[in-house]
Amino acid sequence: MLLEVEDLHVEFRTRDGVARVLNGVSYHVSAGETLAVLGESGSGKSVTAQTIMGILDTPPAFVTGGSVRFHGEELLSASAERRRAVRAEGVAMIFQDALSALNPVFTVGFQIEEQLRLRRGMSRSQARARAIELLDLVRIPAARQRVREYPHQFSGGMRQRAMIAMALALDPEVLIADEPTTALDVTVQAQIMDLLAEIQRERRMGLVLITHDLGVVAEVADRIVVMYAGRIVEQADAVSLFRSPGHPYTAALMRSLPRLDSKGAALETIRGLPPSLLRIPSGCPFHPRCPRAEAVCAAVVPQDVRLGLGRTSACHFAEEVVGG
């Protein structure tokens, strides 16, 4: 197992109170595997990734429990230097907003070359040559020229490709992609996802894909984790989950997808809004929005129900959801 997250708890301590952002999150990713993490905004997807990377701002964020292991090595208790080394060469991350993640006052080439000089001991000329190779790898045209350009001179899709090049510079074993196609048009989205899939196959990387786009997930994911209000409500292989979702929230997400065979029909929506993490509902956090909710749902926190090999659902009526 490359990366393991176990029973992770994170809270944000704010003036308005304590927001319980992660409440016992557990998942893992193996070499060559694509794990998709689904959920609405605020469900805890990105906070989990930032905790893995060790880049949460403390305060207000505090890790209050759990474990993050890379090749079995505990990262949460590791020294700052060791965490930097793992971030550099073990687990890399592509951030959601490439324009904000790239430094506007340095060329794209310099930002790729810097880590190669610091971590690989390359000379400036060696680092420049490698940066050009990486820009070629992610299919940026005229890489030899564009390596000298600044982020604002790149289009949105090209900036995202440059971010991928930076993340791949030190040959990571796990790549976390946080909404890598946000704000890109459909054609560019497909190109970026195809690029990630091709690089993953070549390098046997583990890929953690954080997204809310079910269409993308259906194309690339091996396994899927569905999050709601800081919890994992369902885990399953992609085929099983799309064929028969095991949690009412997952089923509601599926019903909200546009379908080619229902042209002109109104899209279903999930009633209500995600809960405030300062005031998470008692029992199952989804029960105020759930069409199947009964009295037990508001009173008792559901435990994971095993629905098959490697498949779980945190619902009191999981078998009925799958069966119905």
Tens digit of pLDDT for each residue in 110-135? 999 999 999 999 999 999 999 999 99
Backbone angles phi, psi at 284, to 5 degrees: -75, 125
Q: What is the pLDDT of residues 1-26, one digit of tens each?
A: 899 999 999 999 999 999 999 999 99
Sign of the CA dihedral with 108 first, then 112, 51, and 227 last: positive
Query: Mean pLDDT, the chain, as a whole number?
Result: 92
Does a structural domain hold residue 273?
Answer: yes
Residue 93 lies in a domain: no
Are the C-beta atoms of 208 and 174 separated by less than 8 Å?
Answer: yes
CA pair distance 31, 234, nearest whole angstrom:
22
Q: Hey, is 259 helix, strand or coil? A: coil
State which residues form the domain around 253: 245-260+267-324
Nearest to residue 296, comparing CAs of 275, 322, 272, 316?
Answer: 316
**Domain-embedded: residue 272:** yes
| pLDDT bucket at 324, cuts 50 / 70 / 90 | low
Instruction: Give the tens place of pLDDT for each residue, 291-301.
Output: 999 999 999 99
Say if residues 149 and 155 touch (Cβ distance below 8 Å): no
- Residue 291 domain-assigned? yes
284 domain residue, yes or no: yes
The mean pLDDT value for 199-224 works out to 90
Query: For residues 204, 210, 213 and 217, what is the CA-based torsion angle, rounded to 10 degrees?
Result: 30
Is 137 within the bounds of a domain? Answer: no
Contact assessment for residue 137 and residue 55, using Cβ atoms and an 8 Å cutoff: no
CA distances (Å), 83 to each of 40, 75, 182, 206, in order? 29, 7, 28, 18
Domain count, the chain: 1
Per the rule left: phi > 0, alpha: psi between -120 and 50, beta: everything else, 34 is: beta
How far is residue 233's CA from residue 279's CA, in Å, rounded to a whole number?
Answer: 18
- 95 within some domain: no
Can you give the pLDDT at residue 218?
87
The verdict on residue 180 lying in a domain is no
